[in-house]
Chains A and B, each alone.
Chain A
């Protein structure tokens, strides 16, 4: 590999130097520099992740090749890249062996495609529970939880079926009395074969599947899918569609942030705040349904533009909604802040340590509550966020309270942004006709309410989606929950879990 000697590769390679070493080509439409790596450069970049020089964005397998998305969170201008490595004979050097956040990604790819990471210390399955009808399990049945040694320890298995109406996931607590010594998660119960369903699907169908990967982030997923496809096909979209997409994405964020504030308070048994937040959220959803014809705005963003327009009446309705929301939410925030019994529960509970947040490149309110002020909207400034200026609220406490405050402050930013987008809205078309179909690949990062969603598409020559990979923000947030609950009491877990609010469905693919 030109530009690198053996010693550099041994100590790890920084993303910047890897990008510099690539011969100057046309800038790719999606901004991701494509790097074809040797085994040594691959491992060197993995070590660079471990050294904290760049973040691991995603890791996936497609048609005989392993891909890894990398970027630099603190200096996104330094570039982002997709590094590819040919997996000969179904094996490749493990990234997880050097950089722990990759371990679950590699286990998932091994389950899905039988591709073996050499040197990965964890040989257990992840998504595959030995119950897939189409083929026998690659890694076999039976699952060993990690051993915890010590006197006086006992285990509490929770889930996958919970007492509330939530998604399935298993939590194995090892406790000493009420104190949690270790929590280990077991996920994959929501696996629905997203990548297999998308393989060979027409773009419209793949878009519908992408919108359903995690229902609460349906706008963000559709947005990411549309941008990835547009990058792959060099599809220009009209200005009005760009602004409408921004309005929808921010309305989705508002509805979930408000909902989360209520839900966290409810887990501390303050039903009054939940009731208020539920009313505000219902107001948002009802207004959205009136404007866009769907309460969650599912399938409203499509490649080429948007599927529906916003008339003047709708714009007025959204402006009126924002006014009501600001007044009502301010009262909720005041109630939250002025309640000592509630503050006693949320402060210093479930602290997520900044070094873990940096290592795992955790996005969303989890990262921003622990001092990692990364927001894909600002770092990558994708349209329409290049048109407005906004702040990325962050805190350093890293506890439940900080995660709620990041949400609360973000709602104010979202409200301001929606107003700006509405002001900028000019009459015009909302979708561009598709260009002649051809093969290509594209990737996109969008900021969903819980963090950055990465989505990569490869389009075959016949114009169908050949491969789709989506990496939810939760992939890098779930492991932090395990660390955050350590040394807390068991009874505080629901509160921490709700403040993380990770996606099961988005993670289980």
Chain B
């Protein structure tokens, strides 16, 4: 039985772990993209340097920016950080297990998004408005799909708590379930859209008119921008962790694990995270960005996949019974 102190320490370690690795994950993706296009690319640690630079710099605010514009970055960062810290990464015996609920997770991400969209419209530039409206369109399509994916896995595990879901999956024999495969595809598609990656959005673009996420944060600078950038790095880690936790949780330290199990869990998690970051880089150089209105088809198919997944999961449960 893990003592409260132990689980508190594990929880604390996880909170800082996600914060610490998040910029590196974005850095690895960038590096892979650069190498695949025959460029040297910035070093993997460049994202840390960028954050430090932004924190040190003065923040330039529009004359008509309200208190909301200044507060929103911190709230967005906080919400995303909490969400990222809730997803079990290397161990499941964490203090806030009771809170690591998929519904809560989606609510936290949704709240952070709503704050960003509102803040983008605060100063009244046309790009902020464009970004917000596109982001909301994407979110309205992505959220139902992500909800169904989570529920598919929750249905199989009999709980919506992520640590218990992960434990359940580890305890099961290794087999390919059609419903899980479909849910996996759907979650990856949602993750791409949610994290503003190609083909839905391009995080590296300089073309104002094509931006979604970047259009919303155009007016931010200095420490405010650092908060938003950090939040977007965290969000990427969150989704990677979610995919890892739901579909490849193997190696994760059990509920009452020993320190050695935790070490194994940590190594397994970091390896899986690195592989995911590299896969994202390969994916991004191999496809063109789609037209804005094609996003509805893209996420529509994600929704269909997730719907089929939950349908199959439900049916197979009935058959087994």
Near B by CB (< 8 A), chain A positions 209-265 give 265
The CA-CA distance from A83 to B202 in the complex, in Å, is 51
Q: Tell me whether B288 and A345 are in contact (CB under 8 A).
A: yes
- What is the minimal beta-carbon distance from A501 to any residue of chain B, in angstroms? 14
State whether A344 and B285 are in contact (beta carbons under 8 Å apart), knowing that A156-B130, A163-B206, A267-B207 are contacts in the complex.
no
7 extra A-B contacts, CB within 8 A, seeds A341-B288, A489-B293: A162-B208, A163-B208, A270-B285, A344-B291, A345-B289, A489-B292, A492-B291
The stretch of B30-38, B73-81, B303-311 that contacts the partner chain: B30-38
Q: How far is the CB of B58 from chain A (nearest CB, A)?
A: 20
Q: Give Cα A491–Cα B210 distance, bound, in whole angstroms.
A: 4
Beta-carbon nearest neighbor of B294 in chain A: A344
A491 to B209 alpha-carbon distance, docked (Å): 5
> Which chain A positions have C-beta within 8 A of B294?
344
- What are 16 inter-chain pairs, A to B, with CB distance below 8 A? A155-B126, A157-B126, A163-B206, A164-B206, A164-B207, A178-B293, A268-B288, A269-B205, A269-B284, A269-B288, A272-B285, A275-B39, A345-B288, A345-B290, A345-B291, A491-B292
Set of chain B residues within 8 Å of A272, measured between Cβ atoms = 36-37, 285-286
> A494 on the interface (CB 8 Å rule)?
yes
Q: Give A275's nearest chain B residue, CB to CB.
A: B37
Whether a CB of chain B sits under 8 angstroms from the CB of A154 is yes
Minimum distance in angstroms from B209 CB to a CB of chain A? 5
Whether A153 is near chain B, meaning CB under 8 Å from some CB there, is: no
Instruction: Point out residues on A near B: beta carbons under 8 Å.
Output: 154-158, 162-164, 177-178, 265, 267-272, 274-275, 279, 339, 341-342, 344-345, 489-494
Find B126's partner among A156, A163, A492 (CB 8 Å cutoff).
Answer: A156
CB of B166, distance to nearest CB on chain A (Å):
34
Closest residue of A by beta carbon distance from B289: A269
Whether B198 sits at the interface, judged by CB under 8 Å, is yes
Tell whether, in the assembled complex, residue A494 and residue B207 are in contact, meaning their CB atoms are under 8 Å apart.
Answer: yes
CB of B174 closer than 8 Å to a CB of A: no
Also in contact, A341 and B287, with CB within 8 A (given A156-B130, A271-B37, A272-B36): yes
Provide the residues of chain A in CB contact with B38, threshold 8 Å. Answer: 275, 279
CB of B23 within 8 Å of the partner chain:
no
A278–B294 Cα gap in the complex (Å)? 29
Q: Is the CB of B163 closer than 8 A to any CB of chain A? A: no
Q: Which residues of chain A are within 8 angstroms of B209 by Cβ–Cβ distance?
A: 156, 158, 490-491, 493-494
Within B275-321, which residues are at the interface with A (CB < 8 Å)?
284-294
Give the chain A neighbours of B249 by CB distance below 8 A: none
Closest to A272 in B: B285
**Please, how many angstroms separate the alpha-carbon atoms of A271 and B282 in the complex?**
12
Residues on B with beta carbons closer than 8 Å to the beta carbon of A342? 288
Given contacts A158-B208, A269-B205, contact A489 B199 (CB under 8 A): no
- 10 A-B pairs with least C-beta separation: A269-B289, A275-B37, A164-B206, A341-B288, A342-B288, A494-B207, A163-B206, A156-B126, A268-B288, A269-B202
A490: B residues at CB distance < 8 A: 130, 209
Report B253-289 CB contacts with A as 1/0, cut-off 8 Å.
0000000000000000000000000000000111111
Closest partner residue, chain A, to B292 (CB atom): A491
Given contacts A156-B130, A164-B207, A178-B293, contact A344 B288 (CB under 8 A): yes
Q: How far is the CA of A453 from the CA of B199 in the complex (A)?
A: 39
- Minimum CB distance partner of A279 in chain B: B38
Complex contacts, B33 vs chain A, CB 8 Å: 271
- Which residues of A have CB within 8 Å of B284? 269
Cα-based distance from A164 to B288 in the complex (angstroms): 19
A454 to chain B, nearest CB (A): 32
CA distance A157 to B129 in the complex (A): 12
**Which of chain A's residues have a CB closer than 8 A to the CB of B289?**
268-269, 345
With A163-B206, A489-B291, A490-B209 already in contact, the answer to whether A269 and B199 are too (CB < 8 A) is yes
What is the bound-complex CA distance between A339 and B202, given in angstroms? 18
Query: For the complex, what is the distance from the CA of A462 to the CA of B175, rounded to whole Å?
Result: 92
Query: Contacts A157-B126, A272-B36, A279-B38 known; A163 to B207 CB distance under 8 Å?
Result: yes
CB nearest to B208 among chain A residues: A163
Report chain A residues within 8 Å CB of B293: 178, 489
Once bound together, how far apart are the Cα atoms of A432 and B174, in whole Å? Answer: 84
The interface residues of chain B lying within 8 Å CB-to-CB of A275 are 37-39
Residues of B within 8 A of A341 (CB): 199, 287-288, 290
User: Whose C-beta in chain B lies nearest to the C-beta of A163?
Assistant: B206
Name the B residues within 8 Å of A268 (CB-CB): 288-289
Instruction: Please report the C-alpha to C-alpha distance between residue A385 and residue B32 in the assembled complex, in whole angstroms.
Output: 47
- When distances are taken between beta carbons in the complex, the residues of chain A under 8 Å from B286 are 272
Residue of chain B at shortest CB distance from A171: B209
**Chain A residues positioned under 8 Å from B202 (CB to CB):** 269
B87 to chain A, nearest CB (A): 29
- In the bound complex, residues from chain B placing their C-beta under 8 Å from that of A489 are 291-293
A491 to B284, CA, bound (A): 19
B residues near A344, Cβ cutoff 8 Å: 288, 290-291, 294
Nearest CB of chain A from residue B114's CB, rounded to whole Å? 21
- Most chain B Cβ neighbours within 10 Å, of A154, A267, A274, A279: A267
Residue of chain B at shortest CB distance from A494: B207
Which of chain B's residues have a CB closer than 8 A to the CB of A177? 133
Decide: A270 near B206, CB < 8 A? Known: A275-B39, A344-B294.
Answer: no
